[in-house]
Structure 1
Amino acid sequence: MPTPTTWFITGTSSGFGRLLTELLLARGDRVAATLRWPEALDDLRAEHGDRLWVTRLDVTDTARVHRVVADAFTALGTIDVIVNNAGYGVFASVEEAADEQIRRVIDTNLLGSIHVIRAALPYLRAQGHGRILQVSTAGGQATYPNFGYYHASKWGIEGFCETVAREIAPFGIGLTIVEPGATPTGFGGSLDTAPTMPEYDGTPAGDVRRAIADGSFGLPNDPRKIAAAMVDLVDSGAAPLRLPLGPDTFDDVRAALTARLAEHESHREVARSVAHDDRV
């Protein structure tokens, strides 16, 4: 029988965090589950006992992030996998969003994830092994109107994680950026919004707003299959830098990368023209 794996997961009240927690406990693993309302996991605690360690955490509270990570390692000894899953999104054009909403997106998705990783790394290095799964999105490499601040946080955390992955590889620690596509997890329904500006009605921002309102914005992915794919990746021992999950992620990111590369190539001559003459 395989040795149980111990996981530390943020944002476990719903969505991928809750699904991962359920899946892992059902197969006999241990989970340190963090969330803002611990009572949301009372049913799982009653069923699984001390294999589920639960505590309150808002990842925007940096000091508490460090305390909770330390407490989890103390309580559980070894933690094999860190899953940065907690997230917040605001659905609004860049003019419509309030300053408070912008700060919360960055504090949660970017700074919160950064601090969880920073808090965990000393323990993972001491162990000499470990995995980090950073939950991002197709919007970590592609963009959609009305998600500008969400993209800012996800593009930022992906750049951070690319750097971290190279720095920690010598310590036996792997990092994978997981990029789910549009999935019916309830996250879309929890997106924060802002008063709309009529000036954007006839723009791509208005088109996406109407598509979400009338249900034509597709959600093609199965959330349970995405959670299972994340577990399967860890079980396999592979640690790719990115794991795209969903046909929309694969297609949209491929299209974005292809367009960016084509534009990049179009600037070849001007890029080379500004070098010192002896470097051309």
Structure 2
Amino acid sequence: MTKTWFITGTSSGFGRGLTERLLERGDRVAATLRRPEVLDGLRAAHGDRLWVGRLDVTDTAQVKRVVDDAFAALGTIDVVVNNAGFAVFASVEEASDEQIRQVIDTNLVGSISVIRAALPHLRAQGHGRILQISTAGGQTTYPNFGYYHASKWGVEGFCETVAKEIEPFGIGLTIVEPGATPTGFGAALATAPIMPEYDATPAGDVRRALASGDFPLLNDPDKIVGAILDLVDGGEVPLRLPLGPDTYRDVRASLAARLAEHDSHRAVAESVSLDEFAAR
């Protein structure tokens, strides 16, 4: 059965890969991006099964207008994919105020805006799926990605809340967490002037690993796209979908360490309750 998808950030990476695969198999796609001309070839090949909208997700008014237009043009939209993203590769002191705002406005506020704009339509039609593209860095951290992590941890918390609120309406939400993948995203990372004070720190180590090619990109982007399609086609709606051996390994280690630390503070946590609740 064919489906209709709304996808942000379709010029490259997972967004472009999803768009191409979906069109090849006969689905309809509302593809949004800042430069619509990038998809002229696909539009010529697939005709009215590809609806293209100019969208900068940092423009909240534009997000609402484009989402409304896509639903009006296509009717039912079965799956909304929040994929647009931006990252700055720098220690927390090195990034500029403008870079920090762009990361947060794109990854966090932009994703929130798309979900908020889509929900009235999804509720009205009584079904739908939201896929939030996150990363292993939505559950664990790496030096030089502090602001990227801030945005992804934030959007994961938001989406976990949304998933609980929208389930009664027949709408599912899954946070997709790919690991390091050669999609071109790394080459598009914004950078900042390097502070020598950080050279002998973990931030410097990661910078050198990326520069030397020793930071492995373990995952196949086509297989990740396939896994996303399999998830939707299979009807399963997990809250999170880890994709990649690095995601599985790093997130598991982070969760285990956090749980161990959490348990180590049980006594002091329970010691501060009001006396009338202390025995419960």
Tell me the TM-score normalised to structure 2 length: 0.99
Report the Cα distance in structure 2 between the residues aligned to 1:246 and 1:9, rounded to whole angstroms.
Answer: 22
| Pairs within 5 Å for 1:187-226 | 187-226=185-224
161, 168, 171: which one aligns with 1:170: 168
- Counterpart secondary structure, 2:17: helix
How far the C-alpha of 1:169 sits from its partner, in A, is 0.1
Does residue 151 (structure 1) correspond to residue 149 (structure 2)? The answer is: yes
Q: Which residue of 1 aligns with 2:260?
A: 262
The one-letter amino acid paired with 1:254 is R
- Counterpart secondary structure, 2:76: coil
How far the C-alpha of 1:11 sits from its partner, in A, is 0.1
Q: Which residue of 2 aligns with 1:277?
A: 275
How far the C-alpha of 1:55 sits from its partner, in A, is 1.1
Report the Cα distance in structure 2 between the residues aligned to 1:101 and 1:214, rounded to whole angstroms.
Answer: 25
- Counterpart secondary structure, 1:216: coil
84, 90, 93: which one aligns with 2:91: 93
Q: Which residue of 1 aligns with 2:242?
A: 244
Q: Which residue of 1 aligns with 2:178?
A: 180
Q: Which residue of 2 aligns with 1:27?
A: 25
**Structure 1 moving runs of 4+ over 6 Å:** none
Report the Cα distance in structure 2 between the residues aligned to 1:258 and 1:171, rounded to whole angstroms.
Answer: 34
Report the Cα distance in structure 2 between the residues aligned to 1:269 and 1:166, rounded to whole angstroms.
Answer: 30
- Counterpart secondary structure, 1:178: strand
How far the C-alpha of 1:153 sits from its partner, in A, is 0.1
88, 103, 106: which one aligns with 2:104: 106
Report the Cα distance in structure 1 between the residues aligned to 2:247 and 2:124, rounded to whole angstroms.
Answer: 35
Q: Deviations over 1:38-57 (max 9, x none)?
A: 01111111110100000110
Q: Which residue of 2 aligns with 1:36?
A: 34
Tell me the TM-score normalised to structure 1 length: 0.99
Structure 2 stretches of 5 or more lacking a match? Answer: none
How far the C-alpha of 1:137 sits from its partner, in A, is 0.1
Report the Cα distance in structure 2 between the residues aligned to 1:112 and 1:232, rounded to whole angstroms.
Answer: 26
The alignment of Structure 1 onto Structure 2 pairs a total of residues equal to 278
Does residue 57 (structure 1) correspond to residue 24 (structure 2)? The answer is: no
- Counterpart secondary structure, 1:175: strand
Structure 1 stretches of 5 or more lacking a match? Answer: none
Q: Deviations over 1:129-166 (max 9, x none)?
A: 00000000000000000000000000000000000000
How far the C-alpha of 1:276 sits from its partner, in A, is 1.6
Report the Cα distance in structure 2 between the residues aligned to 1:121 and 1:55, rounded to whole angstroms.
Answer: 19
- Counterpart secondary structure, 2:215: coil
Among all aligned residue pairs of Structure 1 and Structure 2, give the percentage whose two residues are the same amino acid: 79
Q: Deviations over 1:89-140 (max 9, x none)?
A: 0000000000000000000000000000000000000000000000000000
How far the C-alpha of 1:278 sits from its partner, in A, is 2.4
